[in-house]
Chains A and B, each alone.
Chain A
Amino acid sequence: MNIIEFSNISKKFGNLKANDNISFAVRKNSVHCIVGENGAGKSTLMKILFGSYRQDSGIMKVNGSDVSFNSPLDAIANGIGMLHQHFMLIEDFTVMENVILGSEKTLNIKIDFEESERVLKEYIKKYNLDLNLNKKISELSISEQQKVEILKLLYRNSEIIIFDEPTAVLSPIEVLEFFKIIFQFKVEGKTIILITHKLNEVREISDYVSVLRRGKLVYETEKDILDLKVLSREIVGNVEIQDENTGFDYEGEPEVIAGLNNINLSVNKISVLNNLDLKLKKGEVYGICGVEGNGQNEVINILFGLEKNFTGKLNIFTDKISLVPDDRLKKGMIKEFSVGENLIIKKKECHYISNKCLKKTAEETISKYDVRMPDINAPMESLSGGNQQKVIIAREIELGNDLLIFSHPTRGVDIAASAFIHSTILQQKKKGKSILLVSSDLDEILKLSDRLGVISKGRIVAEFDRNQYNLQNEVEKTILLESIGKLMIGITGEQKN
């Protein structure tokens, strides 16, 4: 039975057809993946379903009857819930306060916290969410915050749940936990719509897949006949995905460009870095992998000079450092500024900022880095995530600095843009730049780095170099991956070579 039917949905933003005549159906009690590049129209379609946008034309049916949502409230009333990419939580409220906010159960004029707690504890148990209802959001990790959002959906009895790139912020092990939750949803008879970029996830959990490209529905498939090669070709269209593995070779011992020695750092009396040692060498990519919040950001801040209250020894043999931060919107750009304005702010030249100078800077980057956008004066916020990321990377690379720090460079970025970003990183390495790559995506680290360090609880607990992990033997590879995974969550003792 079809629980949702889209027929001929179209939505335009200015001249851009975000959704172009899209028709497909979602079956009840299935996991339906919607895949496509950034800007393919996935989010727009989901926002229409969730009532944040209204379609220009086309009909949407939920549970067999025509619906027209004026706001998310209407969608929620129809049993639709959405987990956004950016969480909607109040930092200073507890988990429980956040969950019940907006639909509190009351006893006379009082909020009935006891009853809410009972209900929520049941959900937590059933879904194995492992949350403390009385903790404040600000004390939770990203994955825990995501669980709070999931709990919100459960509390509101959502039958149809939309996830917008839910695994982008999770480590490999947390992803597995998340999948368990999804399976539990299915057992409960709920319908799940999942927006994602990651094809191996699609293979693992989807029942049905719809591919959008440039606003159109181009391909549909289902679990039993799923072919990832076909799928990825359909997603990117005619773009060739080149293989990145160009091989890494260097002779002799390269010189050290930055060294962190026995670094300790406490923030608000909580120790975040703990005797951390790290050496970055010239012409290599050093990958730091680990579960988020284990000190990665602090290492970056120390190298970039934003954090000064540490003890230990920091040697940096260059002052030319570029940084592509982990959170584009918060740290990487001024979303109100245009592309040109975002680029020019770091440029040494152009003291007088003329329109000509802005336009020239923007145009150069747009063509060199293949940035796609509605028009040249549009604010950064109107670009898709992948294109925003390209602009930021362009800005940092064009400075010609010696040490480049990339933090989660392909988070929430589509396949083609990811490939582009990866090859850009490798190009920079070939030019002799030192690169620090921080990512929770282990595949990315393994693909790009010459050496990798596993960070856990504020220290590098193990280091590997490329000939240790660039294994051809699948069995050995699996064993290695497992042991890295365990190190990341701090299961085994600390071993450092």
Chain B
Amino acid sequence: MSKKIKANIISISVSVLLTFLITVLVLLIIGKNPAEVFIMMFEDVFGSGYGFGQTLFKATPLIICGCGLAICFHASLFNIGAEGQLNAGAFVTALVAFALSNAGFLIAVPAALICGFIVSGALGLVPAVIKVKKGVSEVITTIMMNFIILASINFFLIDFFAVKSTVHTEKIPDGIMISKMSDLLPGFQGSSLNLTFVFAILMAVATYFFIYKTKTGYKIRSVGFNETASRYMGIKTNRIVMLAFFIGSGLTSFVGMNFIMGYKGYYEFGFSNNLGFTAIAVALLAKNNPIGIIFSALLFGFLDYGGLAVNTLVPKEIMFVIQGIVILTILSVDKLVEKYYLK
């Protein structure tokens, strides 16, 4: 096992390094000075509490969503539907929080989160049931579910719940907002970083514990490795598939906490900005290890905010290019490490 962990660390570091080199090359090709770009990026991210806070803020939902997806991925369920699942969950979270706003923080927030979890989880169950009953690949069904869910949210939002001539719900009162990090650590002044970040870290630890240290987590991994053997070992594999999908999808709804209760106060259509897809990359980079996901989410948060920071020099889209390259390199470096290090 320890050799495997070492191999993982090697392949992740090599691919990050490789990505860096490719990025330098790309910058040179488009006629920019890589040093200038990188210095500006680092100065912005690490030079001020605001920049650093924004980076952590961007990483928060990636940690949360990445952990949810990791549970699915451990069961070998390639859930591409997080984008839809998390939007539905966040939407419901915002509605419930608003409806219960008179009940106070201690009731409204947990209730809203639980309702969001159930809705996201239930939507995750749809592809799970179709897979278990009819053997349809979850890749196809989850992609289709994204279209269905996002269109439905749009319909319900515009027709029933949105504040007139906007695409967002009613703002929840300040009483049920989550504290800004800057309230505790004034250094983060101005950034949107809030306590959801701490929640995300705790969630990653809990997910790690769940996957690697509980019987259920073992069963999920066992089904992921070899479903037939799991069945012959007496594991109710269908139940595990549904459970993994329910919990995994359910957890993605917690991204709403960061945006709604920690930042804007309402659900806004399109807030996720492909978060559900980026999180796939985050989980992949971390090999579905929740602790690793914290770090890969930080890297992606860094690229995300850093891209904004250097927007005057290079288009921020270059960061998407980098994100893509990271994934391609890790997938290929993995194979090399497997061949030359593990053998």
Q: Do chains A and B stick together as partners?
A: yes
* In contact, B226 and A353 (Cβ under 8 angstroms): no
* In contact, A353 and B232 (Cβ under 8 angstroms): no
Q: Does A414 belong to the interface (CB within 8 Å)?
A: no
A334-363 vs B, Cβ < 8 Å mask (1 yes, 0 no) = 111110010011100011111000000000
Closest to A377 in B: B1
Q: Among the listed A330, A331, A353, which residue makes an inter-chain contact with B215, where contact means beta carbons less than 8 Å apart?
A: A353
Closest to A331 in B: B232
* In contact, B232 and A332 (Cβ under 8 angstroms): yes
Q: Among the listed A306, A337, A350, A377, which residue makes an inter-chain contact with B231, where contact means beta carbons less than 8 Å apart?
A: A306
* In contact, A345 and B232 (Cβ under 8 angstroms): no
B203-222 vs A, Cβ < 8 Å mask (1 yes, 0 no) = 00000000011110011011
CB-defined contacts of A377 to chain B, threshold 8 Å:
1-2
**Given known contacts A335-B226, A377-B2, A351 and B232 CB-to-CB distance under 8 angstroms:** no
* Chain A: interface size category: 20 to 34
Q: Among the listed A334, A346, A350, which residue makes an inter-chain contact with B226, where contact means beta carbons less than 8 Å apart?
A: A334
CB-defined contacts of B226 to chain A, threshold 8 Å:
330, 333-335
* In contact, A341 and B218 (Cβ under 8 angstroms): yes
* In contact, B222 and A345 (Cβ under 8 angstroms): yes
Query: What count of chain B residues pass the 8 Å CB interface test?
Result: 20
* In contact, A337 and B214 (Cβ under 8 angstroms): no
CB-defined contacts of A33 to chain B, threshold 8 Å:
none
* In contact, A346 and B233 (Cβ under 8 angstroms): yes
Chain B residues numbered 246-272 whose CB sits less than 8 Å from any CB in chain A: none
CB-defined contacts of A345 to chain B, threshold 8 Å:
215, 218-219, 222, 233, 235
CB of A415 to closest CB in B, whole Å: 27
* In contact, A352 and B213 (Cβ under 8 angstroms): yes
CB-defined contacts of B222 to chain A, threshold 8 Å:
334, 337, 345
CB of A236 to closest CB in B, whole Å: 30
CB-defined contacts of B231 to chain A, threshold 8 Å:
306, 331
CB of B257 to closest CB in A, whole Å: 28
* In contact, A332 and B229 (Cβ under 8 angstroms): yes
Total CB contacts across the A-B interface at under 8 A = 54
Q: Does A323 belong to the interface (CB within 8 Å)?
A: yes
* In contact, A346 and B234 (Cβ under 8 angstroms): yes
A295-336 vs B, Cβ < 8 Å mask (1 yes, 0 no) = 000000000101000000000000000010100001111111
CB-defined contacts of A333 to chain B, threshold 8 Å:
226, 229
CB-defined contacts of B232 to chain A, threshold 8 Å:
304, 306, 323, 325, 331-332
**Given known contacts A345-B218, A350-B215, A334 and B229 CB-to-CB distance under 8 angstroms:** yes
Q: Does B225 belong to the interface (CB within 8 Å)?
A: yes
CA distance A331 to B234 in the complex (A): 11
Q: Does B230 belong to the interface (CB within 8 Å)?
A: yes
* In contact, B229 and A344 (Cβ under 8 angstroms): no
* In contact, B218 and A353 (Cβ under 8 angstroms): yes
* In contact, A331 and B218 (Cβ under 8 angstroms): no
Q: Does B13 belong to the interface (CB within 8 Å)?
A: no
Q: Among the listed A331, A337, A353, which residue makes an inter-chain contact with B228, where contact means beta carbons less than 8 Å apart?
A: A331
* In contact, B229 and A338 (Cβ under 8 angstroms): no
* In contact, B213 and A353 (Cβ under 8 angstroms): yes
* In contact, A331 and B229 (Cβ under 8 angstroms): yes
CA distance A325 to B229 in the complex (A): 9
CB-defined contacts of B1 to chain A, threshold 8 Å:
338, 377
Across the A-B interface, give the 9 residue pairs with the lowest CB-CB distance, nearest first.
Answer: A331-B232, A334-B225, A377-B1, A325-B232, A334-B222, A353-B213, A336-B225, A331-B229, A334-B226
A-B contact pairs, 29 of them (CB 8 A): A304-B234, A306-B231, A306-B232, A323-B232, A325-B232, A330-B226, A330-B228, A331-B229, A331-B231, A332-B229, A333-B226, A333-B229, A334-B225, A335-B226, A336-B225, A337-B221, A341-B218, A344-B218, A345-B215, A345-B218, A345-B235, A346-B234, A351-B214, A353-B212, A353-B213, A353-B214, A353-B218, A354-B213, A377-B1
Residues of A within 8 A of B (CB): 304, 306, 323, 325, 330-338, 341, 344-346, 350-354, 377
Contacts A333-B226, A345-B233, A350-B215 aside, 17 further interface pairs with beta carbons under 8 A come to A304-B232, A331-B229, A333-B229, A334-B222, A334-B225, A334-B229, A334-B230, A335-B226, A337-B222, A344-B218, A345-B215, A346-B234, A351-B214, A351-B215, A353-B213, A353-B214, A377-B2
